[in-house]
A and B are shown apart, each in its own frame.
Chain A
Amino acid sequence: MKNILIFCTVLLTGCSTVVPVKYTFPTVPEVLLEKCEALDTIEKPTSVLSELMKTVTNNYRKYYSCGALVESWQEWYTAQKKIAETTNSE
């Protein structure tokens, strides 16, 4: 029985054939890992119109910058996922 088991092991060793090459998901570029900036507030109790407008403008700028970052994340992930799936599925 022991010899049969050894014989079968030797024979079946020839069947363990797996391609040892696999595409790994890439690392995210550093620029996409930056956090969105916090919105500005006005610290003075009394303020002028121009200061309020500048703060609002800066906040809009931060919002659009953060939105662009999210869009880039989505674009990066979608493209990389497609590449990884295409490569590993074949």
Chain B
Amino acid sequence: MWILSYLPDFVTHIIFTVGVVGTIAGFVLGFIPFIATYKLPIQIISILVLSFGLFLEGGLADQAVWQLKVKEMEAKVAEAKAQSAQVNTTVVTKILTKRQIIKEKGDEVITYIDKEIVKYDPTCPIPEVAINAHNAAAQPPTDLKK
């Protein structure tokens, strides 16, 4: 409620209290001479002030409930952010580990090729058509390049 952002809480309580006191004075203390003179104006103004005070008190109570909800939500968001950061760390660590394993496995195979397969290089020439077929398979389809 916008009006509560301008009014301090104690002003709301004062308005409400004035409304209550005024209403009691206007309706119960009519026998006092001063009050008896201004009885009707006191009653009308007191009812209006009491109504406004009640409205503000209701707003304050409602605002307190919502501020509690905001705090709860902020706590949940903070927890979610922590969980999210944990997921990020786990996923990044996992992908880096997987890549390292894949690289090491490839390096092992290449070491094996350099050690064992090279022996067959002189006796096992690869025809050009086989190279062309390999290169064609390694290239992405032209439609995908667009």
List residues of chain A with CB under 8 Å of any chain B CB. 10-11, 13-14, 17, 19-23, 26, 29, 31-32, 38-42, 44-50, 52-61, 64-65, 68-69, 72, 75-76, 79-80, 83-84, 86-87, 90
Mostly, the A contact residues are helix
Supply 21 A–B pairs (Cβ within 8 Å), ascending by A.
Answer: A11-B55, A14-B58, A19-B66, A19-B70, A22-B73, A26-B88, A31-B92, A31-B96, A41-B135, A41-B139, A46-B125, A48-B124, A61-B105, A68-B98, A72-B94, A75-B91, A83-B80, A83-B84, A83-B87, A87-B76, A87-B79
Query: Is A20 touching B117 in the complex (CB atoms < 8 A)?
Result: no
Which residues from B are CB-within-8-Å of A72?
Answer: 91, 94-95, 98
Given A13-B2, A68-B98, A68-B99, A26 contacting B138 (CB threshold 8 A): no
B1 touches A23 (CB 8 A): no
Contact A38 B140 (CB under 8 A): yes
B84 CB, min distance to chain A CBs, angstroms: 5
Contacts of B125 in A (CB 8 A): 46, 48-49
> B110 near A49 (CB under 8 angstroms)?
no
> In the complex, how many residues of chain B place their beta carbon closer than 8 angstroms to a beta carbon of chain A?
51
In the bound assembly, the distance between CA atoms of A28 and B85 in angstroms comes to 11
Q: Which 3 A-B pairs have the closest CB atoms?
A: A61-B106, A39-B138, A41-B135
What B residues does A61 contact at CB under 8 A? 102-103, 105-106
Chain B: CB-nearest residue to A55: B134
**Bound complex: CA A29 to CA B84 (Å):** 11
Are A54's CB and B113's CB within 8 A? yes
Instruction: Decide: A29 and B69 in contact? CB cutoff 8 A.
Output: no
